[in-house]
Amino acid sequence: MTQKQFHTAIKELKKLKLGMFNKDFLLTWERSDEEIKAVVLVAELFKEMHKAGISFRTFDAGLAISIFRDKSTRTRFSFASAVNALGLGLSELDEEKSQVAHGETVRETANMISFLTETIGIRDDMFLGEGNKYMREVGAAIQEGFERGVLHRRPSVVNLQCDIDHPTQALADLMQLRSHFGSLEDLRGKKIAMTWAYSPSYGKPLSVPQGIIGLMTRFGMNVSLAYPKGYDLIPDVVKVAKKNAGQREGSFAIVESMEEAFKDADVVYPKSWAPYQVMERRTELLNKNDKPGLVGLEKECLANNAKFKSWECDERKMKLTKKGEALYMHCLPADISGISCAQGEVSKNVFDKFRLATYAEAGFKPFVIASIIFLTRIENPVQMLQKLTKKRNHG
């Protein structure tokens, strides 16, 4: 990164009106266009600084707490590497090993883990109607602790995936698109096909497709959402996508086949998810700890999934895209036919062609998370960035 590039980025950042300090980052559509652009801008700066061997260590002390209520590889390690690069220590809250297991309330736990904490990253995507709600409960508890003088500083809560949105993934995807097409402005008019794809498993969250339609419609893209009958997303999120498209010169359409969505697409994003109604039923069964009920629901859903094995991203469908050269995207891990399963979301040949591109896509996530933490914890981000580079130049 040259001095000229750095100063250009700082100049752009200065123009943006931000209100993220001491705030939580839970849904992309709750943040302004300028704030989204700031996250991308700072993430790109951090990425270039890291590439050039320049530290962006911002904190001399403090903790980052992670709470993972679901399995994770990319997001878990992205959060760990982001907070480490910023200078924070990492501690993971294992609820089974804490007093939460003995009935400690969310309000109490949130304050107890926050005394010298700068940020709390939470992944809670298993229970429809519960994950985002829990994050807001944590945020409300630490806000009260801060306002009442219990906490000297108010940690920010960062959504590392919930039942509604996966903002760090969607923003990493946005950065991949920006890198591929040249700029955020160049996304205008590009078609992205967000489609359901067959998987031999059930219960995959809705948050990735919802994150994509909720964010990409803000940048003038033509978003085509496709899924088999019955695999609907949360209606309120679909409303957000429609509203965004209406305000940004793009479009949003729901179509009935993967082929229709892929036609003339610049980007394809085939990803399995569980039907909205199934996730509602699953949440009820999980809350009741109804194991026989969960087994029965899984059998029912796998049988239903099996009706749509043709919903696979293969070479034939990729030829339907613009010039047959659309960018393939996936949050990973993908269900790869003949590799991770007998038949899945994407054929081996298609995935192999774009394998490194999907790795690069995932590689944006640590910088996105670092950027969100930075912007929610630093009151004057421009001044701090200048200080970081000045320290390096005089070091």
pLDDT tens digit string along 175-224? 999 999 999 999 999 999 999 999 999 879 999 999 999 999 999 999 99
Say yes or no to pLDDT of 77 above 60: yes
Instruction: Give residue 96's pLDDT.
Output: 79
- For residues 301 and 200, give the distance between their C-alpha atoms in angstroms, rounded to a whole number: 10
- For residues 117 and 233, give the distance between their C-alpha atoms in angstroms, rounded to a whole number: 35
Average pLDDT over residues 362-367: 98
The position carrying tokens 């679909």 is: 238
- For residues 306 and 10, give the distance between their C-alpha atoms in angstroms, rounded to a whole number: 51
Say yes or no to pLDDT of 394 above 80: no
Q: Which residues contact 361 (CB under 8 A, 6 or more apart)?
A: 172, 173, 176, 329, 330, 332
Say yes or no to pLDDT of 5 above 90: no
Question: Which tokens go with 23?
Answer: 């705030």
| Number of residues in the chain | 395
CB of 140 closer than 8 Å to CB of 153: no
Average pLDDT over residues 258-283: 94
Instruction: Give residue 392's pLDDT.
Output: 56
CB of 237 closer than 8 Å to CB of 245: no
- Computed over every residue of the chain, the mean pLDDT equals 95
Say yes or no to pLDDT of 70 above 70: yes
**Percent above pLDDT 90 for the chain:** 88
Average pLDDT over residues 340-365: 98
The position carrying tokens 């590009």 is: 190
Instruction: Give residue 395's pLDDT.
Output: 46
Instruction: Give residue 101's pLDDT.
Output: 73
Between 334 and 203, the higher pLDDT residue: 334
Indicate the pLDDT class of residue 42, thresholds 50, 70 and 90: very high
The pTM (predicted TM-score) of the whole model is: 0.96
- For residues 173 and 40, give the distance between their C-alpha atoms in angstroms, rounded to a whole number: 11
Say yes or no to pLDDT of 321 above 60: yes
Hey, what's the torsion of the CAs at 302, 303, 307, 309, to 10 degrees? 40
**C-alpha pair distances (Å), 313 with each of 171, 316, 337, 374:** 23, 8, 10, 37
Domains of the chain: 3-165+365-393 (3.40.50.1370), 169-362 (3.40.50.1370)
Instruction: Give residue 292's pLDDT.
Output: 95
- For residues 167 and 172, give the distance between their C-alpha atoms in angstroms, rounded to a whole number: 8
The letter for the amino acid at 326 is: A
Q: How many CB atoms lie within 10 A of CB 3?
A: 9
Indicate the pLDDT class of residue 75, thresholds 50, 70 and 90: very high
CB of 56 closer than 8 Å to CB of 50: yes
Average pLDDT over residues 4-14: 88
Instruction: Give residue 7's pLDDT.
Output: 86
Instruction: Give residue 317's pLDDT.
Output: 98
The letter for the amino acid at 348 is: K
Say yes or no to pLDDT of 98 above 90: no
Question: Which tokens go with 3?
Answer: 């001095």
Which range is least confidently modeled, 92-96, 182-186, 383-387?
A: 92-96
Instruction: Give residue 391's pLDDT.
Output: 61
